[in-house]
Amino acid sequence: MKYFLSDTHFGDNRLQLFGRDLIANTSEDIDNIIIDNYNRKITKDDTVYFIGDISYTQEGLEKMKYLMKGTKILIRGNYDQQFTKKKLLEYFDEVHDDLVVEIKDNKFYLNHYPTNCKKDMFNICGHIHGLWKVQRNMINVGVDAWHFMPVSEEQIIFYMNGIKKHYDANVFAGELEPNNVKQDIIVDKHKFQLNWVKEESIDNLWSTEDEILEVEQDKDEYKIMETKEIVELMLKSSDHNPYTGMLSKKDNLIAAIDLAKLCKDFADKGQTDEAMNILSEEWAVVISELEGMLLNCA
């Protein structure tokens, strides 16, 4: 039996961003739920496809050792960029950026990002946690959308048939006229090729003086944004919970600080796309500014 899941985010304490704070107090609680569900469902003869974003931290990646059974195949997502393929192969039998699998004579394309999916076959994706479960030509297998359970191939076929034959326009409300409103376009950076961590090193992204010099030269090409603009962007990008709605001012600041720290981590590792092409030093200033705002928050 084939199973699918994504966005486990082991070791990620930002529970409020995914609505996980409704059922848990710590990432440890959620991690244990996912692990227990996996071990109850999966047998040694099953193949499990992890559609990206396995862990938020190195410590979180170690949780993969507690998933006891099944052949484990990873389709890498954005949070998996922090680990080399060699490191990931310590926990997975195979590691890919995308893959095509067959279920009951149907071909399915596996990719972490909905925006990278294909038009000519049905898609299995992740990345958006529990914001939606199905679209016209794809199924999201993020654990937040499936009660933290792996999704079986039988469920995939069942939902695909529902999409093609039974679901009405209410399911695909994004296509309705009331949702056809003008919005600022948000560019999806994941549509393009991702820059993975170099295989030679886990801790040090750059291994030669020439590469370090190249990075220094590239600094001039980084986006120019004022600190105030970045602060406002962090607050706007983390001002609501997809399940409970708008956050309080204090919770918004806490979430914004977490987001800025994540971006700084990406910048420290040389992952410029994920860091929005903003240098680590600037992220440190932004974090300090947000923390000062939090201290002054009543």
- The verdict on 70 and 216 lying in the same domain is no
pTM over cut 0.75: no
- The verdict on 128 and 240 lying in the same domain is no
- The verdict on 139 and 216 lying in the same domain is no
Residue 212 has a pLDDT of 39
97 within domain boundaries = yes
Q: For the chain, 298 residues long, give each residue's pLDDT as a single digit of tens.
A: 999 999 999 999 888 888 899 889 999 999 999 999 999 999 999 999 999 999 988 899 999 999 999 999 999 999 998 899 999 999 999 999 999 999 999 999 999 999 999 999 999 999 999 999 999 999 999 999 999 999 999 999 999 999 999 999 999 998 888 888 766 656 565 554 444 554 444 344 333 444 434 444 444 444 456 888 888 888 887 776 655 567 788 888 888 888 888 888 888 887 776 777 788 888 999 999 898 898 887 6
- The verdict on 12 and 115 lying in the same domain is yes
195 within domain boundaries = no
Give me the domain span that covers residue 242.
207-295
> Could you say which of 117, 140, 168 is where a domain stops?
168
> Could you say which of 110, 140, 168 is where a domain stops?
168
98 within domain boundaries = yes
- The verdict on 37 and 159 lying in the same domain is yes
- The verdict on 115 and 258 lying in the same domain is no
261 within domain boundaries = yes
Supply the CATH number for residue 150's domain: 3.60.21.10
274: which residues sit within 8 A by CB, 6+ positions away? 78, 81, 189, 263, 266
- The verdict on 156 and 43 lying in the same domain is yes
- The verdict on 160 and 220 lying in the same domain is no
Question: Are 233 and 8 a contacting pair, CB within 8 Å?
Answer: no
- The verdict on 144 and 280 lying in the same domain is no
193 within domain boundaries = no
Residue 256 has a pLDDT of 85
Q: How many domains does the chain have?
A: 2
* Distance, CA of 124 to CA of 153 (rounded, Å): 11
- The verdict on 211 and 69 lying in the same domain is no
Residue 234 has a pLDDT of 84
- The verdict on 6 and 91 lying in the same domain is yes
* Distance, CA of 226 to CA of 102 (rounded, Å): 49
- The verdict on 163 and 212 lying in the same domain is no
174 within domain boundaries = no
